[in-house]
């Protein structure tokens, strides 16, 4: 298959990266995608960095060998922080896009100069995040909140996604606990006027988060910027899919190392993709 017609690989520790895949499909409608949810080894955010790096290397190797991907989007903040520099060294020929909490856009948009950041403990405690945080020191005040258990609760809620809200009482309670711990939100002096979602899973709790922080607070995630960066990288190396690609242009293959039902439910709910496009794989 010509390089331009090969799929783009996307992976996350679970279903959270589907929020990034959704943005990628909107930005790049002619591309093929293969998405891998490493749900059998989730949650990454509460694992040590070495384990996350090992999984990232294994998944990259699998997607290259079995699916011949032309680019890889690491749609997981924790995996990006733990391993993207190593993957770049090991696969210098592979266009690679990671995700990180959108602190820089938040700094530009905040008026009160108080910005809340929610993420996993693995992301907020990583060297990569600390360096990003330190680079913006003095410009604003960041209020950081590790949300233990929230990504996993969102993951567990997905089987309810076809029967109403995917936001279970557990998800709502965890969101309320962590938002309350950060302080007062609003657009007055001293209030937090911008909330950065530092985990791709959190987009799927957006209605609850919006209700908690109020309508005037800006909520920033990374899906659209990642999609635009992916387009730029593919354009630079001239591997964007032809606009009139024959065959299955825009096709998506969804894989998981964990239970199949949550991925099927999430794919149908948030991407309007049929359950038969999902497959369970073994990836030791």
Give 226-272 as a DSSP string.
HHHHHHHHHHHTT-PPPTT-SSSTT-EEEEESS-HHHHHHHHHHHH-
Q: Are residues 113 and 210 in the same domain?
A: yes
Work out the mean pLDDT of the chain and round it to a whole number. 91
Whether 118 and 29 share a structural domain: no
Q: Are residues 95 and 231 in the same domain?
A: yes
Query: What is the Cα–Cα distance from 101 to 121, expressed in whole angstroms?
Result: 13
- Let me know whether 69 and 124 are in one domain: no
Q: Which listed residue (76, 147, 175, 278) is catalytic?
A: 76
**C-alpha 273 chain-centroid distance:** 18
Assess whether 74 and 18 both reside in one domain: yes
Rounded distance, CA 81 to CA 95, Å?
Answer: 17
Among the listed residues 147, 175, 199, 278, the single catalytic one is: 199
Does 92 share its domain with 229?
yes
CA 165 to chain centre: 20
Q: Is 147 a catalytic residue?
A: no
Same domain, 88 and 229: yes
Confidence of residue 184 (pLDDT cuts 50, 70, 90): very high
| Residue-wise pLDDT tens digits, 76-104 | 989 999 999 999 999 999 999 999 899 99
Q: How far apart are CA 201 and CA 151, in angstroms?
A: 6
Looking at the structure, tell me whether residues 235 and 132 fall in a common domain: no
- Residue 37's domain comprises 3-99+223-280
Same domain assignment for residues 92 and 53: yes
The average pLDDT across 143-168 equals 78
pLDDT band for position 250 (50/70/90)?
low
> Domain tally for the chain?
2
Instruction: Tell how strand 33-37 and strand 8-12 pair up.
Output: parallel
Kindly state the average pLDDT of the residues 238-249.
75
Last residue of a domain, one of 194, 220, 246: 220
Same domain, 216 and 227: no
The model's pLDDT over 190-227, given as tens digits with 9 standing for 90+, comes to 999 999 999 988 998 999 999 999 999 999 998 999 99
Indicate which CATH number applies to the domain containing 164.
3.40.50.1860
* d(C-alpha 150, C-alpha 233), whole Å: 32
Where is the domain boundary, 170, 189, 220? 220
pLDDT tens readout for residues 11-57: 999 888 999 999 999 999 999 999 999 999 988 877 889 999 999 99
């Amino acid at each position: 298959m010509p390089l331009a017609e090969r799929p783009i690989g996307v992976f996350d520790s679970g279903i959270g990266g589907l929020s990034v895949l959704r943005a990628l499909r909107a930005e790049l409608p002619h591309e093929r995608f293969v998405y891998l949810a490493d749900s059998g080894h989730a949650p990454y955010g509460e694992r040590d960095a070495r384990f996350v790096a090992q999984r990232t290397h294994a998944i990259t190797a699998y997607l290259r060998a079995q699916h011949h991907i032309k680019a890889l989007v690491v749609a997981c903040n924790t995996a990006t922080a733990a391993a993207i520099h190593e993957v770049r060294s090991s696969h210098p020929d592979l266009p690679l896009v990671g995700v990180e909490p959108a602190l820089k856009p938040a700094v530009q948009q905040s008026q009160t100069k108080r910005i809340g950041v929610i993420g996993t403990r693995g992301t907020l405690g990583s060297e990569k995040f600390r360096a990003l945080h330190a680079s913006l020191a003095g410009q604003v005040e960041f209020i950081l909140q590790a949300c233990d258990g929230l990504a996993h609760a969102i993951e567990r809620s997905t089987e309810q996604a076809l029967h109403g809200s995917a936001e279970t009482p557990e998800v709502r309670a965890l969101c309320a606990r962590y938002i309350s711990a950060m302080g007062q939100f609003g657009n007055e002096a001293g209030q937090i006027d911008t909330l950065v979602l530092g985990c791709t899973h959190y987009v799927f709790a957006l209605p609850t988060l919006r209700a908690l922080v109020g309508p005037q607070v800006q909520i920033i995630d990374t899906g659209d910027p990642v999609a635009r960066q992916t387009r730029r990288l593919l354009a630079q190396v001239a591997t964007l899919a032809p606009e009139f690609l024959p065959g299955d242009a825009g096709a998506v293959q969804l894989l998981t190392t964990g239970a199949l039902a949550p991925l099927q439910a999430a794919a149908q709910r948030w991407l309007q993709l049929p359950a038969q496009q999902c497959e369970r794989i073994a990836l030791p």
